[in-house]
Amino acid sequence: MTDRRVAVIGLGNMGAAMAATLARAGFAVTGYDPAPDAGDRARAAGIALAASPAAAFAAADIAVLSLPMAAHVEAVLAGEGGLLAAADLTGRLVIDTTTSEPAVTRRLAAALAAAGHALVDAPVSGGPAGAAAGTLTMMVGGAAADIDRARPVLEALSAKISLCGAVGAGHVVKLVNNLLCAAHLLTVSEAVRMGVAAGVDAETLVGALNAGSGRAGVSEVNFPRWILSGSFDSGFTMGLMRKDVRLAEALAAETGQAMPLLEVAGRLWRESAADLADGEDFNRIAALD
Ligand code: NAD
């Protein structure tokens, strides 16, 4: 057994691209995803497809998870047919790139440790394009020895690794990041609409803004690439961002933190479900028309 054998569990927009990047970097990659078109995605990523999560864990020393949410992570680690149910497997390292829930992550990490496995949370920023290019930003939580073991995989997938603290800390940082991104989509859109109504061309306005102190990641990347261009094809959905906002709000409630401005942003994201379906691109909430 060597740490060059990696399973990627969840072959969606992010997971399939990460699997292809790891295969290109020389890892022997096995994928698993129950979706009917998973075989096509595995072929496109140049990887072998396992028939079950247990088979994927058996085929690799390290497993990268890229799943919709914490419940799916719990299912593949602690559910029927998951890692903890495979009593013959030991010493697996799980790298969870899902945008998940810190409390669930800590609980699963403890259960895995008791069974001789380890977990590092490494949620990502950078979208499917960053996953395909191996230039993601990763926010990592875990024990130093586990992060050292994960490092070759993390480095193949990312251009920047931020060490955030103990296990679960990566997921805390990711929720803070996405809550801000969700809020910035609303504030930048509102402000740009004001400038346009006052007579300035939208592209000129955003270009000038990006040289000024009012700029944000959203004005520098999302506006030119997906909103002003009208392409709305970022590969990240309204449904997933609404999930992230909900998780951030739960974290605020858990910590007793008052967030008067972000509370309004959270309400607007919740209410957007009436007009924007879960499958729509998340930048639609900032559309100018
Ligand atoms: P996605 O919906 O495209 O993919 C998720 C995949 O998981 C699907 O293919 C689904 O079939 C699969 N899946 C569901 N249950 C499973 C199980 N039990 N075992 C194996 N596979 C299972 O989602 P995505 O956009 O790839 O996002 C994945 C995660 O990454 C989410 O937590 C998301 O919030 C996060 N994320 C996404 C982006 C992005 O730009 N898309 C960026 C950063 C973080």
DSSP string, 190-244: HHHHHHHHTT--HHHHHHHHTTSTT--HIIIIIIIIIITT-----S-BHHHHHHH
CATH class belonging to 172-286: mainly alpha
Domain ranges of the chain: 5-165, 172-286
Q: Give tens-digit pLDDT for 1-10.
A: 468 999 999 9
Q: Is the dihedral of CA 119, 115, 107, 246 positive or negative?
A: positive
- Give kind and range of the element (H or E) at residue 165: strand 158-165
Considering the entire predicted model, what is its pTM? Answer: 0.95
Q: Could you confirm whether 174 is annotated as catalytic? A: yes
Q: How far apart are CA 242 and CA 272, in angstroms?
A: 9
- Average pLDDT of the residues of the chain: 96
Going from the Cα of 12 to the center of ligand 1, the distance in angstroms, rounded, reads 5
- The three state secondary structure string of 99-139 is CCCHHHHHHHHHHHHHCCCEEEECCEECHHHHHHHCCEEEE
Which one from 72, 92, 171, 174 is the annotated catalytic residue?
174
pLDDT the model gives residue 1: 47
Which structure tokens are listed for 266? Answer: 């959270």
Residues 160 and 184 sit within 8 Å (Cβ to Cβ): no
**Token couple for 284:** 């639609």
Q: Which residues pair with 137 in a beta bridge?
A: 125, 160
Is the confidence at residue 289, as pLDDT, over 90?
no
List the residue whose alpha carbon is closest to atom 11 of ligand 1: 35
Q: What is the DSSP string of 40-63?
A: HHHHHHT-EE-SSHHHHHHT-SEE
Distance of CA 119 from the midpoint of ligand 1 (Å): 18
**pLDDT tens track for 239-262:** 999 999 999 999 999 999 999 999
Q: Encode pLDDT of 97-151 as tens digits.
A: 999 999 999 999 999 999 999 999 999 999 999 999 999 999 999 999 999 999 9
User: Tokens in use for 34?
Assistant: 């129950």
Q: Give, using CA atoms, the residue closest to atom 15 of ligand 1.
A: 72
Range name among 39-48, 183-192, 203-212 with the lowest pLDDT average: 39-48
CA of 237 to the centre of ligand 1 (A): 10
Over 50: is that where the pLDDT of 90 sits?
A: yes
**Residue of 14, 18, 245 to test ligand 1 pocket, by largest number of atoms within 8 Å of CB:** 14
* Cα 42 to ligand 1 centroid, rounded to whole Å: 14
Instruction: Give the number of the atom of ligand 1 that is nearest the alpha carbon of residue 9.
Output: 20
For 56-87, how does the pLDDT look when each residue is reduced to its tens digit (9 = 90+)? 999 999 999 999 999 999 999 999 999 999 99
Percent of the chain scored above 90 by pLDDT? 96
Q: pLDDT at position 130, please?
A: 97
- The answer, yes or no, to whether any atom of ligand 1 lies below 6 A from the CB of 283, is no
Which residue lies with its CA nearest to atom 19 of ligand 1? Answer: 33
Helix (H, G, I), strand (E, B) or coil at 159: strand
Contacts of 229 by beta carbon, 8 Å cutoff, 6+ apart: none
Looking at CATH, the fold of the domain delimited by 5-165 is given as Rossmann fold (3.40.50)
